[in-house]
A and B are shown apart, each in its own frame.
Chain A
Amino acid sequence: MTAVPAASSSPVSLVNGRSRDGIMTTVRYGLRAHRWAFAGVAFLGFVSPYASGASYLAAAGTAAARATFGRQTIALGPQLAYLIPLPLRPDTVDGYLWWKGLTWLTLVFAAWGLAAATGLIRNEEERGLMETWLASPLGRGRLVLSRAAAFALAAAGAVVITGLGTAAGVASAKASISFAALLEQGLPLLGIALVCFGVGLAAAQLATTRRGALALGGAVLLALYTLDAVARVNPGLDGVAAISPFHLTDLTTAIVPGGRFDGGATLVLYLIAAVLIGLATAAFRERDLMGSLLRGRVTAGPVVRSPSDNPLLRLPVLRNLWQLRIGLIGWVVGTMVGATLIVSLAHGTGKMLASLSGFNRYVQDAGTTSAATAVVSSIWLGIAALIVAAYAINQTSHWAADDAEGRLEMEIAQPWPRWAVVAERCATLTVGALLMTALGSLVTAAVAPGQGVHLDTGRLLIATGLLALLALTFGAVGALVIARFPRVAVPVLGVVAVASFYIPLLSPLFRWPGWVLDLSLFHLYGTPLTTGVYWTGLWVMVAIVVVGFGGSMAAMRVREVGR
């Protein structure tokens, strides 16, 4: 009689002392854990290049039209240079597809890598799953490496589907592309995903929570990305930017006519990923479960029996801001750093951009005659709009977490009306967004004169207030979705943000009707610093806020909690 079940009956069986089945089990589990993210990224990976290619002929069917289209795109490129590389050969389907359909996917794969790694380690620790894995006869190193392998497989699958979308997009424009070019273009995409996975994995060894790891890894990647973005419009920084994996990814333009595959840069990407994953694995072996590698010995302080006397925890709105204070400081500082960086380079950037054909038209459209002012008005405030949208999406994810993690049930168990929960969320988002935008604008106002940019204080105030309204607009959409489908609120908002970003860019290229523009929340914001308030946009945003938060309050009154 044996007290231990036969190995074959266990999901993790030992074979010659090695847990091969265990590794396959964790790889399979890892693949399962990535399935929704894989579906989303693969969908974007296919649709984005395919749609770009498929729409190309409609926009530029003849040689003359392609030349015009190319010039327009070149003019459009600089205002997006902080987000994606400058366009190359947009007068060809391959060039346009690379710029429009593929370059932004770098950010998607990067975000996936970071989120997957922090989720793999910290989220599973917080949910108690890691304890279960480690109770099986599978070493920590093998566990992490098998999960990294699962991510690599999932990411490779998404890259392959992106390649298929690229090929389909090119074919739809009645052109062709070589398999070698597709392979060369896909390799750095997989490389950046693995690097960001490595960064996330390393951050997860230092922070003690999933959010902390996400914030730490995100801050590192944001800094590296910003370095690359700044170097795009300031070629003098190319040398420094070489340390950024995003820069190494941008160097490959294999599918663009006359482009190149930078094998050295791609190899460096994979080496960085291998080193980061290796270091993180070693660190995971050394640290305590639920602990940090850097954490010192816990010193036993005096036992506390009394409640906190922090008055902020007792006041509506402030209690939420206090709980999220570290994240809020990050958002505020990030906004201020972004404003400092972009506005302090406005003169040089404007000068460089003005040398590009078509940029003067863009400057005029921005309602100014100064390229530097256009940089502040359109590029910086455009990015600030993206930042506040991201902040609103982040807040929405907190609201969804309140629901999933039981805090909403605890709040509702107290004697205050359910609608007040939504009202407090709305007020918290407003205060947070105002804090970010006001301090960002303060920096803008302080730095701009040094760049020869003279801003109208009244308009800057209006632009600042409208940015907060834009955050509320995104928050209102999120609040409405959360009232019924809390799990999908963040993905839905992500889709709204991406669509809002692309509609103003694609609308003139494809001559969409004017009302389509008003479907973009960013278009509703307008360019208040130079062209004044876009009143239609303002009223539509106000309507969305009223309907969104009002609807959410009504839904909160009738919805069920805690099931």
Chain B
Amino acid sequence: MAIAIRTEGLTKDYGEGHGLFDLDLEVAAGEVFGYLGPNGAGKTTTIRLLMDMVRPTRGRGEIFGVDCHLHPVEVKRMVGYLSGEMPQWGGLRGRDVVAFVGGLRGGVDSARVSSLAERLDLDLGRRYREYSSGNKRKLGLVLAFMHPSRLLVLDEPTNGLDPLIQQEFYRLVEAAAAGGGTVFLSSHVLSEVERACQRVGILRQGRLVQVARLDELHHLRYHRLEADFSGEVPLEAVRALAGVEDVAVEDHHLSCAVRGGFGPLLEVLGRGQILNLVTHEPTLEEVFLAYFRDQGEPAAAPAGSTR
């Protein structure tokens, strides 16, 4: 199988533990790969290294066999790119920005741009500074998707997009993959990666700690549940349930973590007099902390090749 992205010991050391360290990663051609990690984990640094924006301290990265650092122009011919932060285009209209960036690539496919603008519901006639943050992101997506590319590198692509447009974005990603393209998208939202990707790499404190298929990561997902009772808390029955962990009771207040379905737990809780019941999805950082605590791994274990 052809390899779209390959890195070997790719490192960018900003000092004081910041940066990216010893990244060994392979992403197959045609794959939608999620690059997951909390803020500051090194996702954007990885992308900037692949795009030759910043230079590696050591190691190397290549895209479709072409060295990112030695032949950046050739690499960029193959890549559609969405940066984490949109540039400020000031008073230029959206259509001018598209023409300008298209001109840098030697041309722009008007029909494709129109189709993208239609699907993302973006008015290209407005000035950039008048765009909302969501519309700026949509424009970034148009710029990334508007030319045929073998690889899409998208840095937190759905930031600021409303749910309807997010769905359209997922369809664009699916279409790109169906057409044989490869997608590398970074995110700190677990559900987004679950929705769009086939495989994910998890980055923490500058190190790749795991690469896995999505079904292998389902055990990571859990919810926190908190309930207030007017009387006795059915503590023992709750503790006896499979998939319920980290159970704590204080006065008439119960808190616990739930993996899998809520059905058995709700049945048990229903035996008591519930005054209030709240569940929430933990942040990615909380998920990771719980996962690594369970694994007994150090916070920033070296990754090595984990394919």
Contact = CB atoms under 8 A, between A and B. Distances in A.
Interface of A: 126, 208-209, 211, 290, 301-310, 313-315, 319, 323, 405-407, 409-418, 558, 560-563
A174 B52 CA distance: 61
B73 A314 contact: no
A308 B93 CA distance: 9
Contact of A561 (B53, B74, B118, B143): B53
Given A126-B129, A314-B99, A563 B54 contact: yes
B48 A306 contact: no
Contacts of A416: 73, 104
B113 A307 contact: yes
B275 interface: no
A209 B52 CA distance: 32
A549 B92 CA distance: 28
16 contacts: A209-B129, A302-B125, A304-B95, A305-B117, A305-B124, A306-B113, A313-B103, A314-B108, A315-B103, A406-B87, A410-B143, A413-B76, A415-B105, A417-B73, A562-B54, A563-B54
A203 to B, nearest CB: 16
A415 B73 contact: yes
Interface string B111-133: 00110011000111100010000
B90 interface: yes
Contact of B110 (A306, A418, A560): A306
A305 B103 contact: no
A307 B95 contact: yes
Contacts of B291: none
B76 A562 contact: no
B124 A413 contact: no
Contacts of A409: 53, 83, 87
B124 A415 contact: no
B77 interface: yes
B249 interface: no
Nearest 3 interchain pairs by C-beta: A304-B125, A406-B87, A314-B103
Contacts of A558: 55
Contact of B123 (A304, A413, A562): A304
B103 A410 contact: no
A454 B60 CA distance: 66
A410 B87 contact: yes
A558 B70 CA distance: 11
B102 A314 contact: yes
Contacts of B117: 304-306
B86 interface: yes
Most buried by B among A211, A308, A410, A413: A413
Given A409-B87, A416-B104, A562-B54, A304 B124 contact: yes
Contacts of B96: 308, 310, 313
Contacts of B122: 305
Contacts of B168: none
* Majority SS at the chain A contact face: loop
Interface in B23-75: 48, 51-55, 72-74
Given A305-B113, A315-B103, A406-B83, A562 B53 contact: yes
B88 interface: yes
Interface string B138-164: 000001000000000000000000000
A290 B52 CA distance: 35
Nearest to B109: A307
B114 A305 contact: yes
A211 B129 CA distance: 13
B88 A406 contact: yes
A414 B143 CA distance: 11
Contacts of A303: 123, 125
A319 B113 CA distance: 20
Contacts of A308: 93, 95-96, 98-99
B77 A560 contact: no
A413 to B, nearest CB: 4
A562 B73 contact: no
A45 to B, nearest CB: 34
Interface in B154-192: none
Contacts of A405: 87-88
B121 to A, nearest CB: 9
A101 to B, nearest CB: 39
A290 B85 CA distance: 21
Contacts of A323: 92, 100
A407 B83 CA distance: 11
B89 interface: yes
B248 interface: no
Nearest to A315: B103
B212 interface: no
Interface centre among A208, A209, A414 (most CB of B within 10 A): A414
Given A305-B113, A414-B105, 20 more contacts: A126-B129, A301-B125, A303-B123, A304-B124, A306-B110, A307-B124, A310-B96, A310-B99, A313-B99, A314-B103, A314-B108, A319-B100, A406-B86, A407-B87, A409-B53, A409-B87, A415-B74, A415-B105, A416-B104, A562-B83
B264 interface: no
B134 to A, nearest CB: 15
Contacts of B222: none
Nearest to B51: A413
A418 B79 CA distance: 16
Nearest to B88: A405
Contacts of A411: 104
Given A304-B125, A306-B113, A310-B96, A560 B105 contact: no
Contacts of A563: 48, 53-54
Contacts of A418: 72
A548 B36 CA distance: 43
Contacts of B102: 307, 314
User: Which residue among A405, A415, A558 has the maximum number of chain B CB atoms within 10 Å of its CB?
Assistant: A415
From A303, A305, A306, A309, name the one whose CB has the most chain B CB atoms within 10 angstroms: A305
Contact of B95 (A306, A314, A406, A417): A306
A211 B92 CA distance: 14
B124 A414 contact: no
B81 interface: yes
Given A305-B117, A407-B87, A313 B53 contact: no
Which of B103, B117, B143 has the largest count of A CB atoms less than 10 A from its CB? B103
Contacts of A417: 73
Nearest to A418: B72
Nearest to A405: B88
Contacts of B100: 313-314, 319, 323
Contacts of B103: 313-315, 319
A72 B241 CA distance: 100
A437 B92 CA distance: 27
Nearest to B54: A560
A563 B42 CA distance: 12
Contact of B101 (A306, A410, A561): A410
A415 B107 CA distance: 12
Contacts of B74: 415
Nearest to A310: B99
B260 interface: no
